[in-house]
A = this chain, B = another copy of it.
């Protein structure tokens, strides 16, 4: 039986093998992925991001458990971890999770260390997600740490992006929050039993109001008649704010409900297809760029390439002139 067939039949060992091949950029992985591609496009891709300390992983675990217990959906988790040779975060993360989720054949967890170039990470994450999609996982959660551009890039993969906050992480990180809020479809304040939860909620609401002016108008109508009566567009999605205590399983059902409502919104507004299209277009472009570069490197003489690099390092020619020379011979 081929690797493709084994995966379509639900063989977990075959799945694990392909995930490793894909992460290592092996040719066999690429071939199998190409065969499996026709079976993708069914899963709901959910991105979960937020600063360290927000309890993001606990929330992801609880959402996974909820999906398993209510509806029996197959759930995959792709955790994109900041890797380090001496912390080994990715491996540790897997083991902590296992206590809650081990033994359930309907859940598959995969950590990916963020080695290599950022473009590489986003591309590999996209490939891992495609493997799970083809293998019949209906809910695929992509968990990323932090609040940088890398998270924004990975979030572009998702249909629904959840941004997790927690009380008391300090007002000084508001600046960076503003950027991450732009990508949020659902906001979760986790650790909502902690002091300061009202402040966090207030801060999120005012940032949201800046980002979605329509919403501010809606909330003020009737109180300040000088403001034009708003026309609420059914196609506008305003991110709901949910409060959870993930470690105790509190508020999880509400988050699941927000996710489901967002999926409905995406389907009704046509945005579901739009996000799919944008994702596949950028994947195709990245693949084209890499293939073009590989071909170029195969055709150029290594000594000529080295010689040009030396000239650039000696500042005899600029990088632009170097490219021109390598591609046009002049």
Q: Which of A31, A148, A291, A322 is packed against the most chain B CB atoms within 10 Å? A: A148
Chain-B contact segment, one of A35-43, A67-75, A135-143, A248-256? A35-43
The contact string, 1 if C-beta is below 8 Å from chain B, for chain A 216-248, is: 000000000000000000000000000000000
Task: Give the interface size class of chain A.
Answer: 35 or more
* Alpha-carbon separation in the docked complex, A170 to B51 (Å): 12
Report A278 CB to chain B, min CB distance, Å. Answer: 10
- Complex contacts, A323 vs chain B, CB 8 Å: 284, 287-288, 291
Query: Is there an interface contact between B319 and A287, defined as CB atoms closer than 8 Å?
Result: yes
Fill in one digit per residue for A28-49: 1 if any B CB lies within 8 Å of its CB, else 0: 0011011101111100000000
Q: How far is the CB of A49 from chain B (nearest CB, A)?
A: 11
Decide if the interface of chain A is mainly helix, strand, loop or mixed.
Answer: helix
Residues of B within 8 Å of A52, CB to CB, are 172-173, 175-176
Q: Within the complex, what minimum Cβ distance (angstroms) separates A48 from chain B? A: 16
Give the distance in Å from the alpha carbon of A51 to the alpha carbon of B327 in the complex: 42
Instruction: Say yes or no for A128: interface residue by CB 8 A criterion.
Output: no
A280 within 8 Å of B by Cβ? yes
Residues of B within 8 Å of A35, CB to CB, are 318
Which one of A9-17, A84-92, A197-205, A257-265 is at the interface?
A84-92
Contacts of A31 in B (CB 8 A): 320
| Minimal Cβ-Cβ distance residue in B for A305 | B284
Give 1 or 0 for each of A152-194: 1 = CB within 8 Å of chain B CB. Answer: 0100000000000000011011011011001000000000000
Q: Across the interface, name the chain B residue whose C-beta is closest to A122.
A: B118
Knowing A292-B296, A315-B40, A323-B288 touch, does A118 contact B175 (C-beta < 8 A)? no
Asked if A321 contacts B34 (CB within 8 A), the reply is yes
Interface string of A258-277 (1 = CB under 8 A from B): 00000000000000010011
Who on chain B is nearest to A150 by CB? B149
Minimal Cβ-Cβ distance residue in B for A35: B318
Separation of A289 and B172 alpha carbons in the complex (Å): 39
CA distance A321 to B30 in the complex (A): 11
Chain B residue at minimum C-beta to C-beta distance from A39? B315
* Residues of chain A in range 275-300 having any CB-CB distance to chain B below 8 Å: 276-277, 280-281, 283-285, 287-293, 295-296
Report whether B320 and A84 are in contact in the complex, using a CB–CB cutoff of 8 Å. Answer: no
Q: How far is the CA of A323 from the CA of B150 in the complex (A)?
A: 25
- Alpha-carbon distance A285/B293, docked complex (angstroms): 8
- Shortest beta-carbon distance, A313 to chain B, in Å? 6
Q: Is A146 an interface residue (CB 8 A)?
A: yes
Which partner residue on chain B sits nearest A293 by CB separation?
B289
